[in-house]
A and B are shown apart, each in its own frame.
Chain A
Amino acid sequence: QSVVTQPPSASGTPGQRVTISCSGSSSNIGSNGVTWYQQLPGTAPKLLIYNNNQRPSGVPDRFSGSKSDTSASLAISGLQSEDEADYYCAAWDGSLNGRVFGGGTKLTVL
């Protein structure tokens, strides 16, 4: 059971805006930056968002991240079928002295 919590599933229709939440505590999200990863079926994870809201080059601006207190969110606007994947948030946890991943959210594009 992860110390960082995500909803197990989310869904939306093409063109819609979807948000995925990530809830933690003062020892992880509350005091450290959040990263988000996208994992397409059968592939390695890919960095999507770092430092809460920064996008690496090549990541479409349809993807955005935000953080408030001990929670973070990933928003995907203009949903596309190729966005169907698992999404993970992560942060450093000062109490555990290690990195923690959320349990992952499976996004389905209806």
Chain B
Amino acid sequence: QVQLVESGGGVVQPGRSLRLSCAVSGLNFRTYTMHWVRQAPGKGLEWVAAIMYDVNTKYYADSMKGRFIISRDNSKNTLYLQMDSLRAEDTAVYYCAADSSGRGTLEYWGQGTLVTVSS
């Protein structure tokens, strides 16, 4: 049974940092491309970033470049998202998702973790 479990969300002040984690089990993690996707309250899905199985190939949405860093630890089957200089508009549920195709077919999703940026 495939499980993706996000953690690390919470309330943070504008300008501060937060690191999200996504623990993955039930699949061969090191062969999957991993993604972060977010959803602001009452809004649609927004792709955040992706990291390929090779650890070094990364892609970011323009609005997140320079502030967010995606990384993974294949020995721990864990995906990370380091978020710096957080803004109110970063408030959202953050989902991690697994993609075996490497072409953005997000087959498995976590339940999401809520990040609230507020003073």
Contact = CB atoms under 8 A, between A and B. Distances in A.
A101 B46 contact: yes
B47 A104 contact: no
Contacts of B111: 44
A39 B44 CA distance: 10
B68 to A, nearest CB: 12
Nearest to A100: B47
Given A99-B104, A101-B44, A104-B45, A44 B50 contact: no
Determine the main DSSP class of A at the interface with B: strand
Contacts of A12: none
Contacts of B62: 96, 98
A37 B103 contact: no
Interface residues of A, number: 27
B31 to A, nearest CB: 17
Select the residue from B37, B45, B62 with max chain A CB neighbours within 10 A. B45
Interface in B81-119: 95, 101, 103-107, 109-112
A50 B101 contact: yes
A90 B45 CA distance: 10
Nearest to B96: A44
B95 A44 contact: yes
A14 B103 CA distance: 34
A58 B109 CA distance: 16
A46 interface: yes
Interface of B: 35, 37, 44-47, 50, 59-62, 95, 101, 103-107, 109-112
